């Protein structure tokens, strides 16, 4: 006969009744891990709420403040912000069109916007003639400006104060007759005497204007006018040969 063993009852505490009352032995239910003791919620992480009405009100307030402080009509034009003065370029262009009356006061403020526009127009007319010379034109213009700057400062001696930036501006603006010659040459037959005669006229035009502007830029440049004119004639003759051939 099997011997019976006495098993002590397992007692589980109960919050609803008396903890000393024995209960049946049951496996404890599964519970998620949590704090052992109930307490107040953790308030270390703030709660951020988004109020759409307040955002719209703040944006409308800021827009009203911006419109009150200034409008787009009071803003300067984009070209002026980039340093491109169209009125100045226009007046300088008109001064080049009159080779008999050179106005050097208009070219005291040097810029490269107008010369770059003329060089691009020169390349465009050459492209219409079937010649892609953009790189050659820009390279020759840079070398010509450097050449005239060195020659003029050497002739002027200690009083030579012509910088490369201003010389590039003057050489570029005096390219306007060459641009006109490039446009007219599209309607003139090649290899005739007419195009050579036109080339001589436009070269003399550019030489006259460029020489006057370079000589008037310094006080001591008048005594070397012939040598400066010879250097300018060589520069613009190269551009005319680029158009003819």
- Residue 73 included in any domain: no
Q: Mean pLDDT over all residues of the chain?
A: 78
* pLDDT surpasses 90 at 224: no
- Residue 117 included in any domain: yes
Per residue in 53-108, pLDDT (tens digit) is 454 445 555 554 444 445 556 676 766 666 688 889 999 999 999 888 888 888 88
Q: With both helix axes pointing from N to C terminus, report the angle between 113-128 and 176-184 in degrees, rounded to the nearest 10.
A: 20
Contact by Cβ (8 Å): 236, 178? yes
- Residue 11 included in any domain: no
Residue numbers of the domain that contains 173: 110-244
* pLDDT surpasses 50 at 221: yes
Among 19-23, 112-116, 197-201, 223-227, which stretch is predicted with the lowest mean pLDDT?
19-23
pLDDT, position 197? 95
pLDDT, position 71? 57
Q: Is the dihedral of CA 180, 182, 183, 187 positive or negative?
A: positive
- Residue 13 included in any domain: no
- Residue 68 included in any domain: no
Q: How many CB atoms lie within 10 A of CB 164?
A: 15
Average pLDDT on 30-47 reads 53
* pLDDT surpasses 70 at 136: yes
- Residue 78 included in any domain: no
232-235, long-range: CB within 8 Å, 24+ apart, which pairs? 232/148, 232/174, 232/206, 232/207, 233/203, 233/204, 233/207, 235/144, 235/147, 235/148, 235/171, 235/210
Average pLDDT on 124-138 reads 94
CA–CA distance, 237 with 245 (Å, rounded to integer)? 12
* pLDDT surpasses 50 at 141: yes
Task: Name the domain count of the chain.
Answer: 1
- Residue 231 included in any domain: yes
- Residue 45 included in any domain: no
């Amino acid at each position: 006969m099997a011997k019976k063993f006495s098993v002590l009852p397992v007692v589980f505490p109960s919050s609803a009744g008396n903890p000393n009352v024995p209960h049946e032995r049951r496996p404890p239910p599964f519970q998620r891990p949590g704090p052992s003791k109930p307490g107040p919620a953790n308030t270390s992480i703030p709660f951020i709420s988004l109020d759409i009405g307040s955002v719209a009100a703040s944006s409308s307030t800021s827009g009203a403040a911006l419109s009150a402080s200034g409008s787009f009509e009071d803003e300067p034009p984009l070209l002026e912000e980039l340093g491109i003065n169209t009125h100045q370029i226009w007046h300088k262009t008109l001064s080049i069109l009159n080779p008999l009356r050179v106005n050097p006061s208009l070219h005291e403020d040097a810029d490269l916007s107008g010369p770059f526009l003329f060089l691009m127009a020169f390349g465009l007319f050459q492209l219409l003639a079937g010649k892609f010379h953009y790189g050659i034109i820009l390279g020759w213009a840079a070398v010509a400006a450097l050449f005239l700057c060195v020659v003029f400062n050497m002739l002027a001696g200690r009083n030579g104060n012509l910088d490369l930036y201003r010389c590039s501006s003057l050489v570029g603006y005096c390219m306007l007759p060459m641009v006109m010659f490039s446009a007219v040459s599209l309607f003139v037959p090649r290899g005739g005497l007419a195009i050579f005669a036109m080339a001589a006229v436009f070269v003399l035009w550019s030489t006259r204007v460029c020489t006057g502007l370079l000589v008037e830029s310094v006080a001591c440049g008048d005594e070397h006018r012939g040598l400066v004119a010879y250097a300018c004639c060589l520069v613009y003759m190269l551009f005319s040969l680029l158009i003819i051939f």
